[in-house]
Amino acid sequence: MITFNYETEFALKEEKSSEIWIEKVATKKGFEVGEINYIFCDDAYLHKLNVEFLQHDTLTDIISFDNSLGKLLNGDIFISVERVGDNAKDFKVSFEEELHRVMIHGVLHYMGLKDKTDDEKLAMRNAENEALLILTN
């Protein structure tokens, strides 16, 4: 089950279609969705978590806490909608496209993808793009 929670004025436009999309991506990669909680927040909220739990004193667009068990995906994904908006402008894409990229990014981490090295970042970007194609089809 996927739940969407809001710590800001933002609200996802189509929760059900997002849930179906995420489940399709998971299934296609051989995983099952357990309990995934999305928490949409602002920069200050996410910065506080970043400092408290990861000891990173920086702004970020997403923090995911992975509680997956084998092929069963579970966890909490915190997303700063402020950061997503700024990144969308920087990358010259729509807010919705960047939001979906970030949303699936957290789930891909649960599936074992990393993004520390250049090769890992390329693999993550390719997986994000593949997932975005599923969304648009």
Q: By C-alpha distance, which of 64, 61, 105 is closest to 84?
A: 61
Query: Within its chain, how far is the Cα of 96 from the centroid?
Result: 12
What whole-number distance in Å separates Cα of residue 33 and Cα of residue 50? 25
CA dihedral defined by 122, 83, 133, 68, rounded to 10 degrees?
Answer: 70
CATH number at residue 126: 3.40.390.30
> Per the annotation, does 47 bind a ligand?
no
> Per the annotation, does 115 bind a ligand?
yes
Number of structural domains (the chain) is 1
pLDDT in 10s for each residue of the chain, 137 residues: 999 999 999 999 899 999 999 999 999 999 999 999 999 999 999 999 999 998 899 999 999 999 999 999 999 999 999 999 999 999 999 999 999 999 999 999 999 999 999 999 999 999 999 999 998 87
pLDDT at 64: 95
Question: Which residues form the domain of 42?
Answer: 2-136
> Per the annotation, does 118 bind a ligand?
no
What whole-number distance in Å separates Cα of residue 33 and Cα of residue 72? 6
What whole-number distance in Å separates Cα of residue 75 and Cα of residue 33? 10
pLDDT at 137: 72
